[in-house]
Amino acid sequence: MQKFTTLSAIAAPLPLMNVDTDMIIPKQFLRTIKRTGLGVNLFNDMRYDENNVPVKDFVLNQAPYTKAEILIAGENFGCGSSREHAPWALLDFGIKCVIAPSYADIFYNNCFKNGILPVILPPDQVDTLMARAQECPDEPITINLGEKTVSAGNHVFSFAVDDFRRHCLLNGLDDIGLTLEKENHIKAFEEKRQAGMPWL
């Protein structure tokens, strides 16, 4: 998993509440266990028409938002079924941070496990960032995980994040990475077990 320290990038405004995981990545694309290749179908039913032609009015089909690495959304983002494909699709598209007033719990947890930072800010601050992303689309928004701040123009907002999750993102540690940090202890245990119980 890549480390997340500071991100300065284009932010795409998605002023919708209750964006569920089926909207993020529809069920017909869940037949893969690969984390790659899902970005093209991110928000599929909103990005493409019935003939699979990109919808010009959808934000991620408009420059410069086609290169967005930050998504700003409304309350209860990621609700619905608990599909891990949702953060996979966001990350494969290039989204490394989502900013919203609230998230569904499972989606929120899955983001951290896959290297995406889900920032929670009060609705008025999210509205400020949303407006700025719409009015100044080429100006990046900066996320500093070390300082736990979001900066856009003259606005600087602080956010809270669990210390352990912050540590994992800063150091690029997913569940496997955390386990490998104990590799020497695991090896020592296996060697001791083998010496004491060679029949196993």
Sequence-separated contacts (24+) of 104-108 with Cβ below 8 Å: 104/21, 104/76, 104/77, 104/78, 104/79, 104/80, 106/78, 106/82, 107/21, 107/77, 107/78, 107/79, 107/82, 108/78
Verify cis geometry, omega within 30 degrees of 0, for the bond prior to 64.
Answer: yes
Q: What is the mean pLDDT of residues 65-83?
A: 96
From 47-61, 98-112, 163-177, 182-196, the region with the lowest mean pLDDT: 182-196
pLDDT at 177: 66
Q: What is the mean pLDDT of the chain?
A: 93
Of the pLDDT bands very low, low, confident and very high (cuts 50, 70, 90), residue 178 is: low
> Does the pLDDT value for residue 196 go beyond 80?
no
pLDDT tens across 8-26, in order? 999 999 999 999 999 999 9
Determine phi and psi for 98, rounding to 5 degrees.
Answer: -120, 135
Domains along the chain with CATH numbers: 6-196 (3.20.19.10)
> What share of the chain has pLDDT > 70, as a percent?
94
* Contact between residue 119 and residue 112 where contact means Cβ atoms under 8 Å apart: no
Of the pLDDT bands very low, low, confident and very high (cuts 50, 70, 90), residue 69 is: very high
Of the pLDDT bands very low, low, confident and very high (cuts 50, 70, 90), residue 180 is: low
Of the pLDDT bands very low, low, confident and very high (cuts 50, 70, 90), residue 176 is: low
pLDDT at 200: 67
pLDDT at 198: 79
Element (H, E) at 175: helix 175-180
> What share of the chain has pLDDT > 90, as a percent?
80
- Strands 11-14 and 97-100 come out as unpaired
Q: What is the mean pLDDT of residues 182-198?
A: 74
CA distance 126 to 133: 10
CA distance 103 to 139: 26
Q: What's the pTM?
A: 0.89
> Does the pLDDT value for residue 181 go beyond 80?
no
> Does the pLDDT value for residue 118 go beyond 70?
yes
pLDDT at 82: 84
Q: What is the mean pLDDT of residues 181-194?
A: 72
